[in-house]
Structure 1
Amino acid sequence: MSGIAACQRCDMSGNLAFPSADSERATMASRADEGARPMAVLIRTSDLPAARRHAAWRGIVCDTLGPLDLRIDPDAPLRGEIEFGKLGAVGVGRIKTSTPHSVHRTSGLIRRDNPELYRVVLTLSGSPRLSQDGRNTQLSRGEFAIYDFSRPYELAYDAAVRLAVFSFPRDLLALPADAVAELAALPIGAGSGAAALAVPLLRRVALDHETYQPGSAARLSTVVTDLVGAAVAERLDRARSLPADARQRMLLLEVRSFIEQRLGDLGLDPAAVAAAHHISVRYLHRLFESENTTVAAWIRQRRLERCRADLISGGAGSVSAVGARWGLPDAAHFSRLFRQAYGMPPAEYRRAHTVR
């Protein structure tokens, strides 16, 4: 690929030498002063001996993206590519990997090195998970999220992903810290407004950033920064348009509707519900505390009520089939729960209440 200034390669002995983050920054600055095109650093694990790939991946991630704790199965075959460069003052990275792993920014790492950055991650393909401040987001293709590099976060990949990561100096993006804190790890899609312009531009920049001339790169970085700031501000205005108690009630209604539509799904549990709504499990439980119940109890209650309705209506199949239809496939467990709720086993309840 053109514009690649440094590829990590093994020498004949199989040793790797990684530039430090400071040397990378100094090299980028000197190249920019010389009027060169934005530099990109690339690692392809396929170019490296298998025994060296994990160390190489960790090294290049920390050198280009900052101190991070990578958690990965040491026995898993590592496949991936990383590119990193600059678009004016904006850092631009591309990450492609098919190996499940996660990266963590811990409090200890923040104390060691805190460059005062906001980061934006854009999903090119796959479904990465981003967590910060108790919010957990599974990003879909074409969605992006902002997060604060000065606070702990986790970015995880369970399957193959292609991501673009943008680094903005705090003073460049000019967003209030409380605004970023309110929106950290929440998805921003390309549906309308500034985000509809920002998403395709971010994608194009991520794919082409090393081809821009320095003058164009500087101007384009300003456009990117302005559009991202506008998209975040628009998202914040929508989030703040209702009072806090009204937002909480609306969210609870959305959660209940989500549960109602998936009662037959055996994977329906508090963790799945929280992930689907980009909130933590703890916050989900707080929502249901206002209803004097728990998430699991609500799911169980709604499943039993659906089963009871089917039993009364008749013609819904066997008792065990009714339970399985609504997420209670264990016949003995279903019978026990039903008896606790309605005072008799489901078969007896059907005989006593079937509409004739």
Structure 2
Amino acid sequence: MRRVFSTAGTHPRTRFKLWQEVVAERIGPIEQRRRADGPFAGEIEIGAVGPLTFSRITQSALTTTITADTVRRRPDGLIRVNFRLAGASTFQQHGREAVQGTGDLTVIDHHPGVLDARTDGQTLVMALPRERLEGLLGPARLFAALTMPAGSATTRLVTTFFGDLLRVNRQLSPEAAERMATIGVDLIVAALADRMAREVPHSLHGSVVVQRAKAHVEANLGDQTLDPPRLAAAMGVSLRRL
């Protein structure tokens, strides 16, 4: 990871203004407000593994809002996975509230609807292409602001994999890094699918499977080998249930 900005060494009175300018340049014109008195502190580091980009953000307590104007001015088509390294966050999006503690993962849709993102501490943010996730899981509203708890087996697999991947990234060839990135995205999709299955009430779970199946079919219309058994396997349900 490479540091691109730090408030260390800057005057306390100008730190937060500088922070807002850097965030606007790198992320977009989001709205941020401080939630604590005293000098503000923040640091941004960036890195990449194959096509995946990462930002490690350390900051004092803030409230962040994404508005419709934000998305219109900078539509990047990305969905972000937040690895909470320290501190806590609360996100509200698509009518759902996610409370994220250290070790938890949360997916955030860069779309109007993050009404109040209250964060402090340190977060590793990974940007993923929207088409990849929605092609396998359905519309982002089905999984945005879902928290995958640190204690779950799937979350531990994802965090361990990406922690190791970032540590050895420089030792990998470009081809190997791209393959490992693809494996990591597949792990996130699997963890999200497991979390979605536990989130949705049983009476509605069938409709969610249908939405995911439709999205998978639409994303793979050119695959001549796609048949009902393969579709059922991709959805993680039996052929009879599908």
Q: TM tier, shorter chain? A: 0.7 to 0.9
In structure 1, C-alpha distance between the alignment counterparts of 2:55 and 2:86, rounded to whole Å: 15
| Residue of 183, 189, 202 corresponding to 2:162 | 202
Where does residue 175 of structure 1 map in the other structure?
A: 136
**Cα distance change of structure 1 residues 45 and 204 upon mapping to structure 2, 3 Å threshold:** farther
Where does residue 84 of structure 1 map in the other structure?
A: 46
Residue type of the alignment partner of 1:152: G
In structure 1, C-alpha distance between the alignment counterparts of 2:173 and 2:90, rounded to whole Å: 34
Report the alpha carbon displacement of residue 74 of structure 1 after superposing the two structures with TM. 9.7
| Residue of 127, 130, 133 corresponding to 2:94 | 133
Q: Secondary structure at the match of 2:159?
A: helix
Q: Deviations over 1:173-229 (max 9, x none)?
A: 343443x312221210244453331122234456x4874545243222112211111
**Cα distance change of structure 1 residues 54 and 204 upon mapping to structure 2, 3 Å threshold:** farther
| Residue of 44, 66, 77 corresponding to 2:28 | 66
Where does residue 145 of structure 1 map in the other structure?
A: 106
Higher relative contact order (CA 8 A, sep 6+): 2
Residue type of the alignment partner of 1:230: A
Report the alpha carbon displacement of residue 244 of structure 1 after superposing the two structures with TM. 4.0
Aligned residues: percent identity? 26
Where does residue 126 of structure 2 map in the other structure?
A: 166
- Number of equivalences: 202
Q: Secondary structure at the match of 2:8?
A: helix
Q: Is the contact made by 1:64 and 1:84 (CA closer than 8 Å) also made in structure 2? A: no
Please list every run of 5 or more consecutive structure 1 residues that lacks an aligned counterpart in the other structure: 5-40, 246-356
In structure 2, C-alpha distance between the alignment counterparts of 1:167 and 1:196, rounded to whole Å: 19
Where do 1:220-299 residues align within 5 Å?
220-240=180-200, 242-244=202-204
**Cα distance change of structure 1 residues 51 and 214 upon mapping to structure 2, 3 Å threshold:** farther
Q: Is the contact made by 1:190 and 1:197 (CA closer than 8 Å) also made in structure 2? A: no
- In terms of fraction of residues, the more helix-rich structure is 1
Please list every run of 5 or more consecutive structure 2 residues that lacks an aligned counterpart in the other structure: 206-242
Where does residue 85 of structure 2 map in the other structure?
A: 124
Where does residue 94 of structure 1 map in the other structure?
A: 56
In structure 1, C-alpha distance between the alignment counterparts of 2:178 and 2:9, rounded to whole Å: 32
| 1:184 to 2:169 alignment | no
Report the alpha carbon displacement of residue 236 of structure 1 after superposing the two structures with TM. 1.6
| 1:52 to 2:14 alignment | yes
Where does residue 208 of structure 2 map in the other structure?
A: none
In structure 2, C-alpha distance between the alignment counterparts of 1:121 and 1:155, rounded to whole Å: 12
Residue type of the alignment partner of 2:39: P
Q: Is the contact made by 2:98 and 2:145 (CA closer than 8 Å) also made in structure 1? A: yes
In structure 1, C-alpha distance between the alignment counterparts of 2:36 and 2:106, rounded to whole Å: 29
Report the alpha carbon displacement of residue 242 of structure 1 after superposing the two structures with TM. 1.0
Q: Secondary structure at the match of 2:117?
A: strand
Where does residue 72 of structure 2 map in the other structure?
A: 111
**Cα distance change of structure 1 residues 187 and 73 upon mapping to structure 2, 3 Å threshold:** closer
**Cα distance change of structure 1 residues 235 and 167 upon mapping to structure 2, 3 Å threshold:** same
In structure 2, C-alpha distance between the alignment counterparts of 1:42 and 1:67, rounded to whole Å: 18
